[in-house]
Chains A and B, each alone.
Chain A
Amino acid sequence: MTIQNRDKFLDHLAERLGQPRHQLADHPYQQLNDLPQQTLSDRSPAELLTLARKNSEALPVTFYEVAPVELPQLLTDYISSKGGGPVLLPTTERFTDYNLTDWQASIAATETVNYWQPDADRATNLKAAEIANISISFADFMLAESGTITVSTNAGQGRALHFLPTHYLSIVPRSRVVARSTQAVAWYEQERAAGRLDSSAIHFITGPSNSGDIEMQLVTGVHGPLDVTYVVVDD
């Protein structure tokens, strides 16, 4: 039995509330106002990008805007600036979408490159993430209001890819820079409802891991990456 003690528990709550169970279908939640949808809705794409940069850099996050043709060199320089590999990459067709297949081959020739492998077991992929100095991910969205990128887990891009490596870079197309979390959540809900997304984990990541637990002094990198870089690619 996968659900235990439910009916007795819920009957007790209904009794306390003074109403029978199974009322929700006739009383679904109606959003009180449209503030989430209206906030920043008047901003143009260019304004949102400017806002995203400002809010990201305040976190602090290193922020780049590049043309597709500039992306390979930027990634190579980034890896070099962080002391080189091991580099952990996702297994995804997005490398092809960004014309990065030649870069994949070239970087593998000079650095230790591992992939989060869809057919590998837990231990193998976690080991690759554990030893990685750098990981690179492909984000679904960038949120201008908060300087956030969103990523969803799949067989080729696991959860720990975002948290175990020391340095973290995420790539997002310019067309996916949206106002705020409202738009990203709406898309994820739509994709899930349509059966196009069966991810067990969706992460909204806003800069590097941090803590103010010792005398309220903010320090970065307590658990997750020590630093974070966003790359917005024109599309």
Chain B
Amino acid sequence: MGLKTSTLPFTERIADAAKDQFAHASIAKAQDTQYTKRENARAELGHWQDWRKLGQSIRQHVIQYLPDYLEEFSDNVEKRGGHVFFAQTTDEANDFILNVIKQQNGHHVVKSKSMVTAELDIDKKLQALPDVSILETDLAEFILQEDDWDEPSHIVFPAIHKNRDQVQTIFKKLGYDGDNDPEHMARFARKYLRQRFLEADIGITGCNFAIADSGLINLDTNEGNADLADSIPKTQIVVMGMERLVPSMKEAEIMDNLLARSAVGQKLTTYVTFEGQQSAGESDGPEDFYVVILDNNRSKALGTEFQEILQCIRCGACLNVCPVYRQIGGHGYGSLYPGPVGAVLSPILGGYEQFGELPFASSLCAACTETCPVLIPLHNLLIKHREVETDRLKMMHGFTDFQMRVVGKGTSSPFMFKMALRFKHFGLSPWTHQRPVTATNFFEYNGAMITNGPGMVGGWTDVRDLPSPPKHRDDFRVWFKHHKQQGGETK
């Protein structure tokens, strides 16, 4: 489906996400498990804050001199005998890839997990080609493909919303007759995928980092599927976002260390590979090597307050600490890029009309900023998006905007503010209901609660308690005034 993964309105997506109890539990478990693994791995490395600064300095330098690094990289790919295509749009990239497959007379395409190729929606384009098969080979992506191309819900664990029984049902359609043990199902997938790998003539991979000074690409996987995709097929097509470069292997090694610890708490990803066009004398690896470098609106972030989002290395750590992601999951965002990074990146790539709600899908707790291995100030960027939408683009319309204007007027006028305080109890009385008084709520609100509150108040009362405000005579300000008049202690 490309960058936008749902046509449903934001509120409907959230409501759907709230119903999925398994996904809720699974995400909570993943976040809790990954917290321990990630923090232990970082602590064991030591000097984590200085490592983050090191990673940030590499990424910021590359972005600052991006045209030069891209030129150096493409020159070196060419020197090795490869080809580079610069694509401004997803259509340009897709057309080029489809042409390569046609020219190479390719029939069997194997893919390793790649966010950028999902951005292209290349799978659907390949499905439309006669005599061409396409297979996602990452286990999670394979599961999603076989479940009628279900959308991913996490950057690192795309099928986190699926349970073992669902996977078993999906695999049964392929001839699996075993139980729901993940190890047994993984063995089945291994056998199934192996045959398809061996007949593949085109391998499509992503790229964790492109090495500017050598023309090699750096791929990190735990399954090894990217290594099979770049070893067996005669042709390899690499698709990368234009910002995914490092100056040399030396900096790639640093980024790989940050990535593995931040993504899943590993010291290194199981397979860290630096590879490119086949060298003389070698018999496997790509004889024909193509790199597609995609802009797709990334350049809109350059030279703006959002430039730092291009530092992202797609570790997914910000998802794994986000309280909003924990509640609404990946599908709630409706973007290929969920979580805090997605809430910042999606409006840049797809525009505010499509993804304008996402910067508001945050509590601004800054846990994402605290965990980011390359020091992207994610929560500040979300605030900047909100500023753009409200102040620059004037996108806030309708009843919410009206309410905010009323609140703005009311709180900026002492008279109006005092009037609001005086009549708050009476004004909210239509929505006030008495709950049984208990030992725990007696001193808090005496049992009077606002339920199904009006307008924006409803957003709060739908999910949280809101005690009824006290009558004017019981108000703290009134009490304080009387207390002071009676000579009471005020300090």
Give B244 Cβ to nearest chain A Cβ, in Å. 14
What is the size category of the interface that chain A forms with chain B?
A: 35 or more
User: Contact between B69 and A32 (Cβ–Cβ < 8 Å)?
Assistant: no
Q: How far is the CB of B57 from chain A (nearest CB, A)?
A: 4
Please, which residues of chain B bring their CB within 8 A of the CB of A159? 227, 230-231, 275, 282, 284-285
Contact of B223 with A3 in the complex, beta carbons under 8 Å: no
CA distance A214 to B177 in the complex (A): 17
- Give the Cβ gap from A134 to chain B, nearest Cβ, in Å: 17
CA gap between A219 and B276 in the complex, in Å: 29
Specify which chain A residues have a CB less than 8 angstroms from the CB of B62 in the assembled complex.
Answer: 29
Q: Which residues of B contact A213 (CB under 8 A)?
A: 138-140, 143, 157-159
B269 sits at the interface (CB 8 A): yes
Contact A31–B54 (Cβ < 8 Å): yes
Chain B residues closer than 8 Å to A13, beta-carbon distance = 66-67, 70, 242, 299, 302
For residue B153, CB closer than 8 A to chain A, the reply is no
- Judged by a CB distance under 8 angstroms, whether A178 is at the interface is no
B230 touches A203 (CB 8 A): no
Residues of B within 8 A of A205 (CB): 270-271
**B278 partner residues in chain A, CB cutoff 8 A:** 200
Residues of A close to B185: CB separation below 8 A = 214
Residues of A within 8 A of B96 (CB): 4
- Interchain CB contact under 8 A, A17 and B257: no
A222 B157 Cβ-Cβ under 8 A: no
Q: A186: shortest Cβ distance to chain B, in Å?
A: 7
Q: Which of A2, A17, A148, A222 contacts B186 (CB 8 A)?
A: A222
Contact bitstring B136-150, A, C-beta under 8 A = 1, else 0: 011110010000000
Q: Is the pair B84, A2 in contact by a Cβ cutoff of 8 Å? A: yes
Q: In the bound complex, do residue A211 and residue B85 qualify as a contact, i.e. CB atoms below 8 Å apart?
A: no
Question: Do A223 and B50 touch across chains, with their CB atoms under 8 A apart?
Answer: no
Are B223 and A211 neighbours in the complex by a CB distance under 8 Å? yes
Quick one: which of B178-206 are within 8 Å of A by CB? 182-183, 185-187, 189-190, 193-194, 197-198
B183–A209 CB distance below 8 A? no
A3 touches B270 (CB 8 A): no
Given contacts A29-B247, A213-B159, contact A130 B198 (CB under 8 A): yes
Contacts of B75 in A (CB 8 A): 3
A196-235 Cβ-contact flags toward B at 8 Å (1 or 0): 0011111111111111111111010111100000000000
Question: Residues of B contacting A35 with CB < 8 Å?
Answer: 47, 50-51, 54
Q: Which residue among B70, B77, B232 has the maximum number of chain A CB atoms within 10 Å of its CB?
A: B232
Q: Are B87 and A214 in contact (CB under 8 A)?
A: no
Q: A-facing mask of B59-88, CB < 8 A → 1, else 0?
A: 001101111111110110110101111111
**In the assembled complex, how far is the CB of residue B146 from the closest CB belonging to chain A, in whole angstroms?**
13
Kindly provide the distance from the CB of B150 to the nearest chain A CB, expressed in whole angstroms: 13
In the complex, B481 has a CB within 8 A of chain A: no
Digitize A1-38: 1 where CB-to-B-CB distance is under 8 Å, 0 elsewhere: 01111101111111011100111100111011101100
Contact string against A for B residues 384-407, beta-carbon threshold 8 Å, 1 for contact and 0 otherwise: 000000000000000000000000
A-B pairs with beta carbons under 8 Å apart, 12 shown:
A3-B78, A3-B83, A9-B242, A31-B250, A32-B53, A33-B50, A130-B198, A201-B273, A201-B276, A206-B269, A214-B167, A223-B225
A positions within 8 Å CB-CB of B: 2-6, 8-14, 16-18, 21-24, 27-29, 31-33, 35-36, 39, 55, 116-118, 120-122, 124-126, 130, 143, 145-148, 153-155, 158-160, 162-164, 181-182, 185-186, 188-189, 192, 198-217, 219, 221-224
